[in-house]
C-alpha cells in the first residue's frame, strides 16, 4: 500500500514525481514531460498551486481519498486557471452522516503520521459539520559516504520535518442555494535544511497560515437551465528562513567562522525571515444548457497575491535592503460551447 499521494501518482503511467528529499520535501509532478506552472493541482476542484508554501497534495492522507483524477493535455474548463499541460484533481471521500475515524502510522527514518476525521449531519436541517486534522513528523536523517573526503562515513541530519494541519467545514443544503459551504484550514510547518559541502546544524524553514473559503452552487440560477458555481478563498501566511548560526561545521567535526560576521551557515549572509503573504482565489462558472446535447459555459478565474517580506537580519548582513513588497493579480476567462 502507498503511504502518500506522491507514491500513488508515481505508479501511474506517464507520471513522474521528482522529490527533493525525504518526507515533507518539495516535489514536482511531471506529466508527459510537462511540470511546474503548466500543471494544475486541485483538491475537490479547488486550486492549491498558489498556496504551495503552506499546502500541498501530499498533505492529504491516502485513506481520505476517494479517487485521483489525472488529466493529460487539455484541462477541463470547470477548473479554470492557466494550466496547459494537464491537471491532477484529488477527490475526497463523501463520509456517512455520522462518522469518526482516526489512524496512526509509523515508518522508516522515525516517521510518524496521525490523522483524524469527524462528520455529523442533520438531515432535517440540511446541515453538515466536519472537522479533521493531521500531524506528520520525520527525522529524515541517514548515513552517507563522502568519497571526496577519503570515504568518510557521516550521518546527514538537520532535515527533520514537522507539520500540523487543522480544518473544519460547515455545509447547508436547504437554503436558497442548493449548496452553501464554508471551510477553514490552519497549518504550521517546520523543516530543517541539509548540507552537502558543510554539515548544517540549525538552519530551517518555517511557515504557518490561516485559510478561509466559501462555495455556493445552484441549478437554474434565476433562469431555467443556467447553473451557477462560485468559490473563493483567502489565505494569510507567514514564512521564512532562519539561519543565525555563528559557526560552520565541517563533516570531520571541525568548526569555522561564518562568511558573515552576523552568522549564517548556509550562505554568505544571516537570515531571520518573517515574511507575510496575502493570497486570494476566486472562480465563477456559469453553464447554460440550450438543449440536452448543447451547452454554453463561461468560466472566470481570478488570483491575487501580496507579498510583504521582512528580514532585517539579512538586510544588515548584506549591507543593503534586499526585501521589497510585491503584488500580482491575474484573471483568466474561458468560454466554451
Mean pLDDT of 177-182: 93
Cell numbers linked to 230: 462560485
Mean pLDDT of 32-54: 71
Mean pLDDT of 139-159: 88
pLDDT above 90: residue 47: no
Residue 123: inside a domain? yes
| CA–CA gap between residue 108 and residue 110 (Å, rounded) | 5
Mean pLDDT of 5-34: 70
Residue 242: inside a domain? yes
Q: What is the pTM of this model?
A: 0.85
pLDDT band, residue 54 (cuts 50/70/90): low
42/35: higher pLDDT = 42
pLDDT above 80: residue 278: yes
| CA–CA gap between residue 314 and residue 273 (Å, rounded) | 8
* Each residue's pLDDT tens digit, 110-120: 889 999 999 99
pLDDT band, residue 210 (cuts 50/70/90): very high
Residue 21: inside a domain? no
Residue 90: inside a domain? no
Residue 330: inside a domain? yes
pLDDT above 80: residue 140: yes
Residue 313: inside a domain? yes
Residue 64: inside a domain? no
Mean pLDDT of 244-270: 93
Domain residues for 301?
97-336
pLDDT above 50: residue 243: yes
* Each residue's pLDDT tens digit, 285-319: 999 998 888 999 999 989 999 999 999 999 999 99
Cell numbers linked to 123: 438531515
Chain mean pLDDT for the chain: 87
pLDDT above 50: residue 2: no
pLDDT > 90 fraction of the chain, expressed in percent and rounded: 54
Mean pLDDT of 157-174: 92
Domain count, the chain: 1
Residue 89: inside a domain? no
Amino acid at each position: 500500500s502507498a503511504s502518500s499521494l506522491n507514491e500513488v501518482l508515481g505508479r501511474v503511467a506517464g507520471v513522474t514525481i521528482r522529490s527533493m528529499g525525504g518526507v515533507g520535501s518539495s516535489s514536482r509532478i511531471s506529466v508527459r514531460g510537462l511540470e511546474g506552472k503548466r500543471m494544475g493541482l486541485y483538491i475537490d476542484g479547488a486550486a492549491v498551486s498558489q498556496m504551495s508554501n503552506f499546502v500541498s497534495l501530499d498533505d492529504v492522507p491516502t485513506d481520505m481519498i476517494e479517487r485521483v483524477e489525472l488529466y493529460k493535455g487539455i484541462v477541463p474548463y470547470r477548473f479554470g486557471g492557466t494550466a496547459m499541460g494537464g491537471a491532477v484533481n484529488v477527490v475526497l471521500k463523501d463520509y456517512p452522516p455520522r462518522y469518526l475515524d482516526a489512524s496512526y502510522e509509523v515508518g522508516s527514518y522515525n516517521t510518524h503520521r496521525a490523522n483524524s476525521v469527524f462528520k455529523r449531519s442533520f438531515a432535517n436541517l440540511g446541515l453538515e459539520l466536519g472537522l479533521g486534522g493531521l500531524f506528520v513528523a520525520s527525522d529524515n536523517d541517514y548515513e552517507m559516504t563522502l568519497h571526496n573526503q577519503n570515504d568518510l562515513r557521516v550521518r546527514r541530519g538537520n532535515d527533520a520535518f514537522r507539520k500540523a494541519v487543522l480544518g473544519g467545514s460547515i455545509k447547508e443544503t436547504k437554503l436558497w442555494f442548493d449548496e452553501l459551504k464554508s471551510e477553514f484550514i490552519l497549518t504550521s510547518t517546520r523543516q530543517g535544511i541539509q548540507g552537502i559541502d558543510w554539515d548544517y546544524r540549525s538552519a530551517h524553514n518555517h511557515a504557518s497560515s490561516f485559510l478561509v473559503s466559501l462555495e455556493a452552487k445552484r441549478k437554474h440560477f434565476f433562469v431555467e437551465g443556467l447553473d451557477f458555481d462560485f468559490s473563493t478563498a483567502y489565505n494569510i501566511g507567514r514564512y521564512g528562513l532562519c539561519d543565525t548560526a555563528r559557526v560552520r561545521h565541517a563533516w570531520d567535526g571541525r568548526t569555522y567562522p561564518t562568511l558573515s560576521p552576523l552568522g549564517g551557515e548556509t550562505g554568505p549572509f544571516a537570515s531571520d525571515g518573517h515574511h507575510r503573504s496575502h493570497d486570494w482565489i476566486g472562480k465563477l462558472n456559469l453553464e447554460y444548457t440550450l438543449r440536452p446535447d448543447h451547452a454554453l459555459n463561461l468560466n472566470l478565474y481570478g488570483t491575487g497575491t501580496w507579498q510583504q517580506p521582512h528580514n532585517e537580519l539579512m538586510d544588515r548582513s548584506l549591507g543593503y535592503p534586499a526585501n521589497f513588497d510585491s503584488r500580482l493579480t491575474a484573471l483568466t476567462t474561458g468560454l466554451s460551447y
